Structure 1
């Protein structure tokens, strides 16, 4: 079930973020990986908005947004390859305008997913030793 992210989800979102971003850090071969340095207090202070996927009462995926930009798309490693990220992107695109997302250039699965929805690379930069690509959707 996909529903709106609520502030009561923040502790579970933080736990999910730690697990999912560790997999991404391993995938792209970068440590320290900046998203893993965020504390739970910082996440709460950020007050992200977006959507979560809940399965049997457990938060298994999340997509957060700021204005027209996806700021986080994460899925529990226990639920990889089940279409959760795709469902979250589809869900948000039917509800609001989303134009931008950034991810590591080495994160080929994420880039392939975003391309399915019409996102195209418009920029590349290096930050914190990570080559990031920005994708835009018209």
Structure 2
């Protein structure tokens, strides 16, 4: 593959708008396993929220898709394939990105626990801010660090 062709493919897969109008692949092989990706994504999206029992499955699927994306991107980055193969890989990467976007947009079903988690994180940030503002963080570092 020529350097300009490689650059063109890399720009295509890394473009923010690459997934606009892109379709989620019907099936995809991820880590050697054939997955009905479109069916999986639509099944999860139909619910509008991710039930607690499905959350692990969705998170595992997202991790596997991210790993597969990197595995498909590497031959393009390393210029190990011809342009035609690179185009096929780029198209599949964009399809994976589209599926990931759809899965990332889902809300957890347990809104109350999500709200509690957000509140706890806000409280932790507030306490950290107060410690810094009042100088307590520096004093505890001096005592504990020596």
TM-score range, shorter chain: under 0.3
* TM-score, normalised by the number of residues in structure 1: 0.22
> If each structure's strand is expressed as a fraction of its own residues, which one has the higher value?
1
Q: Comparing both structures, which one devotes a greater share of its residues to helix?
A: 2
**TM-score, normalization: structure 2?**
0.21
- Point out the structure with max Rg over C-alpha: 2
Higher RCO, 1 vs 2 (CA within 8 Å, ≥6 residues apart): 2
